Amino acid sequence: MATTPTPHNAAVEGQIAKTVLMPGDPLRAKLLADTYLENVEQFNTVRNMFGYTGTYKGQPVSVMGSGMGMPSIGIYSYELFNFYGVDNILRIGSAGGLAPEVKLRDIVIGMSSSTDSNYPSQYGMPGTIAPTADFGLLSKAVAGAEKLGYPVRVGNILASDVFYTVDNSLTKWANMDVLAVEMESAALYLNAMYAHKHALTLLTISDLPLTGEALTAEERQTSFTQMMEVALSVVA
């Protein structure tokens, strides 16, 4: 295990729980810690990427922002898995719905993550590797959602390097029944696979880029709360 703290994380060994919830927005990390966790201690403020450790229903859990895009979550998740002894990372965030059956407010769980990024090329694989979620975390999340009464959609998602697309590439992904597009999951899954650890991505559909529909800020918060509760059900 490498020396801690790192240039990006002020925590030292033992300050971060084995399971980390990871929203993109560090202010959402603070909101989650303030709302759901007890006995909270902040372990990181470097680059304003806030990180906290506390307990949820008696279980240790940490929450930390990842920033936007695969390079950012790639750094933080790599360090958490390989330097801090974290076993499980659950990304919780928003996404754009692609497949026709996906609607606003839906909760989507990424069973696998296609990508237009060259992030996988660093592994030098002799073929194409499929970034995949951990089945144990996935099954717990689905069971938790059922218990809470929240419907979820499970399937393939797209992790893209591009937020503002200028071509029709999203339509092509939708035609392959890719459920949603976001910008982080493939890097997270690949880092977990390389470290022999566990990862899962849970998403709230906040907009439909192919139709232009989108939630209001208030509607986003309500839907995000349901998705956070599903993620926390995996911890409890």
Among 95, 198, 202, which Cα is nearest to 154's?
202
Which region, left, alpha or beta, applies to residue 39 given φ > 0 means left and ψ of -120 to 50 means alpha?
A: left
Q: Residue 232 in 3-state DSSP?
A: helix
The residues, ordered by sequence, that sit 6+ positions from 122 with a Cβ below 8 Å of its Cβ are none
CA-to-CA distance for 129 and 108, rounded, in angstroms?
A: 22
SS3 at position 219? helix
Write out the two tokens for 33.
Answer: 């810690």
Q: b/e string for 151-182 if b means 16 or more Cβ within 10 A?
A: ebbbbbbbbbeeeeeeeeebeebbeeebbbbb
Q: Of the listed 87, 116, 161, 207, which one is catalytic?
A: 207
87 carries an active-site annotation = no
Distances (CA, A) of 124 to 82, 127, 155: 20, 9, 26
In whole angstroms, what is the distance from residue 199 CA to residue 67 CA?
Answer: 17
The rounded distance, in Å, linking the Cα atoms of 179 and 12 is 38
Catalytic amino acids?
A: 207
